[in-house]
Structure 1
Amino acid sequence: MTLLVYGAYGYTGALVSRAAVDRGTDPILAGRDGDALRELGRDLRCSVREFDLSIPEAVTETVRDVDAVLNCAGPFASTAAPLVDACVETGTDYLDVTGEFRVFEALAARDAEATAADVTLLPGVGFDVVPTDCVAAALLDRLPDATALALGFDADGDVSRGTARTAVRGLGETVVARRGGALVSLPTDERERRIDFGRGERPAAAVPWGDLVTAAHTTGVGDVTVYAALPPRVARLRRLARPVGPLLRTRPVRWLLDRVVAARVEGPTAAERAANRAFVWGEARTDAGEVAVERLRTPDPYDLTVEASLAAAERVLAGDAPSGFTTPAGAFGSSFVDVVDGVTWLDR
């Protein structure tokens, strides 16, 4: 069974590719930067395929003879659609590590098409959204009548260039949540709250995380809100940035910030990742007032992404995932996150 890793030379893609080789897998390394691909291919002794996603015929022919594609190249708003087009046409399973809720929406809309082609569409097999999706599923097991879910995370450490560029694209966007099954603008008084993610209460802000789509799909719950912890410095910057929100939505400002990120952001070192932790929290409520809480402590988000994405790819290649659009917990259950060493459920 053959796995192609697209964006193999990026920060996350390189971590995934190296770990795949360490596990005895022989992935095909792919992307559009031929020089970077060949350098990594020589280092890992893997075959490489250089292709540009702007040429549909080239993408289709390149994935035709592989069994699954693991897309590690963000922003996924740009990379997911052309790869999924090719995968559906060729009967190739698709996975990625996106956290972009609009990408999840777009792939969920292709469920019937993928099912008819006997293709698995499994986005979000990294820190976005494996731990939160598993927490959501575990909460529904405890409260089957839940009508509202709140999920959140509190993570140490820096981000990679791809993650930062995705964040730049989202600057100034309306804060959304799921209400009654639909994505809506979140009222101002619901955008911040204090949450104990697992190491004491911290201020948190609502974010447009992928769980707005995946948690609803996994659990069937119609009200979903996602929060991220706010370190004090970030909280101050948020307050200062509010008056210039409209400016952040302009194309020239986003272009400039994207160029800065591309030039300066690298991602955490191995030593930094080893010292980092993340905490994931979830709360389910019923109309009768019942409440359940689950919390996880995990390794560094990038290390979790490596382990979870490869575990998901192995299961997909083994035929253990359903056809059509699915989610990590939807495909593999609430315990899937336990495949990652160092994950601890704090409320059990």
Structure 2
Amino acid sequence: MKIALHGASGYTGRLAVAELARRGIDTVLVGRDFSRLHSAAAGTGFEVRRADLHDHDSLTAAFAGADAVINTAGPFARLGAPVVRAAIAAGAHYVDTTGEQQYIIEVFDTFTGAAADAGVTVVPAMADDGGPSDFISHLVADAAGPMDTLTVALWYRGGAFTRGTLRSLDPDLLFDGALRYGDGGWTTYGEASHATWRFPGEDPPVRVSKAALPPVATVPRHVTVGRMEGLLGGSFDVLKDGIAPAVIDALPEGPDDEQRRQGRWTISVEASGPGGRAVRGEVEGTDGYGKTAVIAVEAVCRLVKDGATAGVLAPSQAFDPESFLDFLSGHGVRWHVTTG
């Protein structure tokens, strides 16, 4: 197995380098800056290949011989499509760590046919907020049966964001531009269905806002639901007002190891069916950036070893949801589905 990693010199990319090295996977690091790539590869023995994101031929050549590509370089709406295109051209499966809802829809709309024709599988959104939320939503849907609505709430607390995450957070798209699924398609909408959400073990309920969460773009592709929307827990007034690029540039690249360990995240999903019947599911963990590296590396390993249908797939279409969540349980992630 040979994996190509694009974005290796970034914060999440370096965590992916460490995970690939820990698992002893043959890896090539791809990017435009040799010095930063060599720094990221230090002590691993990984090969380094230079390629310009905007030079399709050089990027495709850099992915040559790889069974799969991991892309951790965002903002994906601006930087992602050339990497997907080059991976498909190189005949390599593709996984990324995007959390950008509108970009995920773009990947499905743009690359499904090309990936199927090339015989490769493309799976966007394999990060802490995307993969687990898609998996638990699928399991909740299985337990619920016919559903009227499916709501996903995500809550981060503790820890800190990276500069890359903040640069990817377009407040107009994340909040006001959030898409809701209904009537067979995705549209913007007005007020969220909830102002607060009861997360497991928390009292009182937590304030939530409507938000452009990844599972809203992926889950309706594999479960039947009348309406689905996403909620983000906590107060994000600063993000809603936007953060000046100069302010972001002055911040640390990302949380240090201790801050990462202190960061906690919870995904809470509720399905409502006829007669008011409700099924809930939760996934909880710590160190979202570290878990993202684990999720992305495990995803490409499963694609290479087990295969999946060619084309662009949601996480639960490419992987068995319960099996993947059980794997994450070995990394400190807790999950359950409750029928009530």
Q: TM-score, normalised by structure 1?
A: 0.88
Match of 1:282 among 269, 288, 301: 269
CA distance in 1, matches of 2:145, 2:20: 37
Q: TM-score, normalised by structure 2?
A: 0.90
Percent identity over paired residues: 26
Who is 2:37 aligned against?
A: 37
Who is 1:154 aligned against?
A: 155
Q: 1:172 to 1:149 in 2, by over 3 A?
A: closer
CA distance in 2, matches of 1:211, 1:346: 18
* Contact 2:178-2:211 within 8 A present in 1 as well: yes
Who is 2:257 aligned against?
A: 270
Q: 1:9 to 1:108 in 2, by over 3 A?
A: same
* Contact 1:69-1:92 within 8 A present in 2 as well: yes
| Runs of 4+ residues deviating >6 angstroms | none
Who is 1:135 aligned against?
A: 136
Who is 2:189 aligned against?
A: 186
Who is 2:58 aligned against?
A: 58
Equivalent residue of 1:126, what SS?
Answer: coil
The residue type equivalent to 2:74 in the other structure is G
Confirm or deny that 1:258 pairs with 2:245: yes
Who is 2:334 aligned against?
A: 344
Equivalent residue of 1:102, what SS?
Answer: helix
Q: Which runs of 5+ in 1 are unaligned?
A: 249-253
Aligned length: 330
CA distance in 1, matches of 2:67, 2:61: 13
Instruction: Give how far 1:141 is off.
Output: 0.9
* Contact 1:101-1:210 within 8 A present in 2 as well: yes
CA distance in 2, matches of 1:46, 1:108: 31
Kindly provide the CA deviation profile for residues 32-55 of structure 1, in whole angstroms up to 9, marking residues without a partner as x: 222211122233221111211111
Superposed CA RMSD in Å reads 2.0
| Aligned residue runs from structure 1 range 88-107, under 5 A | 88-107=88-107
Equivalent residue of 2:125, what SS?
Answer: coil
Worse overlay, 218-227 or 5-14:
218-227
CA distance in 2, matches of 1:344, 1:172: 28
Who is 2:310 aligned against?
A: 323
Equivalent residue of 1:208, what SS?
Answer: coil
Instruction: Give how far 1:337 is off.
Output: 2.2
| Aligned residue runs from structure 1 range 1-40, under 5 A | 1-40=1-40
Confirm or deny that 1:214 pairs with 2:218: yes
* Contact 2:94-2:123 within 8 A present in 1 as well: yes
The residue type equivalent to 2:178 in the other structure is V
Equivalent residue of 2:306, what SS?
Answer: coil
Instruction: Give how far 1:67 is off.
Output: 1.2
Instruction: Give how far 1:26 is off.
Output: 2.5
Worse overlay, 283-292 or 200-209:
283-292
Equivalent residue of 1:154, what SS?
Answer: strand
Equivalent residue of 1:43, what SS?
Answer: coil
Match of 1:293 among 266, 280, 286: 280
CA distance in 1, matches of 2:335, 2:129: 18
CA distance in 2, matches of 1:65, 1:175: 38
CA distance in 2, matches of 1:283, 1:210: 16
Q: 1:171 to 1:290 in 2, by over 3 A?
A: closer
